[in-house]
Amino acid sequence: MNVLITSGGGAKGAFSVGALRQLMTTTGIRSFDLISGTSTGALIAAMVAAGKIPEVTDIYLSNSNADILNKQNAIDNIINNKPYLYDTTPLENQIRQQMTDDAWNTIRQSASILCLNAVCLQTGRLSIFSSRPIQASIHYDSLVINSSEMLIKSLQSSSNQAVFMPPVTIGDRQYVDGGNREVVPTRAVVTNLPSGEEHRIYILSNNPDTQQPGSDNYTGLLDVLMRAVTIFIQEVRENDLEVLRNFQHNATAPVKVFYISPEAELDPDFPTGLRFDRLLMQAWMKQGQLRAKAILEQYPGGNW
């Protein structure tokens, strides 16, 4: 089976889009048996499942912050019990523009299984929204997407970073960014791949493989916050990859893993990925393309 895993990272998803385009060019793959995405990676995953590669490229090359977020007055939101710093109506509008009934029908009828990761605030558990029923697991709750509206809500749930962006209500529960539990969404993959078969797993990560050195001294409130976020993302990412390593180690048939990530932090000042700068995203997309080309050519059997 061919598997695609797309990580969280906000605007840094441009790196994944560049890597994805190169991956499809180099390997000739046009669809995947299983696609698992978190946050910005969920948006990319859904676009891949819907066959919208040109569209997802345009999105990451043309958007600015105003096309994604409306900044709010933090004090007003605290006083009025609004648990977020940014209104995400522009992002919702873009998701609705792409995830139409036709797009949902393409995803639903596809042979691919699409998995989108979020976290439920009420249970604290990883919640996986999938285009078809998936295997149950003690590590997550699973919910089957049954309409284009639920697909839209699932994508909002997966991509809305807690505190920065509003929780999304589905049924009687609230959901936030899946990156709180899985930055690189591996749980759905290892649980749903058949044993005894050969698998090729392509991971597109927007964060470097190793923790980057920090500053000599942190004095500003935001500087400390952003450094803490970077450390948190690194810890979650390492745990995610360990899940996949254990699966690969115990597999009875070859599991070839192609791990494509930047060599350094793409945007050290904004580890949340909430800086949608067109020139930066253009550079990151090119970097993703070159990085994927190098890895796929140098390691035809996988680089793990």
> Which residues are catalytically annotated?
39, 177
* Distance from C-alpha of 288 to C-alpha of 6, rounded to nearest angstrom: 13
Do residues 130 and 114 touch, judged by C-beta distance below 8 A? yes
Do residues 65 and 275 touch, judged by C-beta distance below 8 A? yes
* Distance from C-alpha of 89 to C-alpha of 82, rounded to nearest angstrom: 14
* Distance from C-alpha of 182 to C-alpha of 241, rounded to nearest angstrom: 10
DSSP helix/strand/coil, 13: helix
Tokens at 53, concatenated: 């590669």
Do residues 158 and 38 touch, judged by C-beta distance below 8 A? yes
For 186, residues 6+ apart whose C-beta sits below 8 A from its C-beta are 5, 36, 240, 241, 243, 244, 247
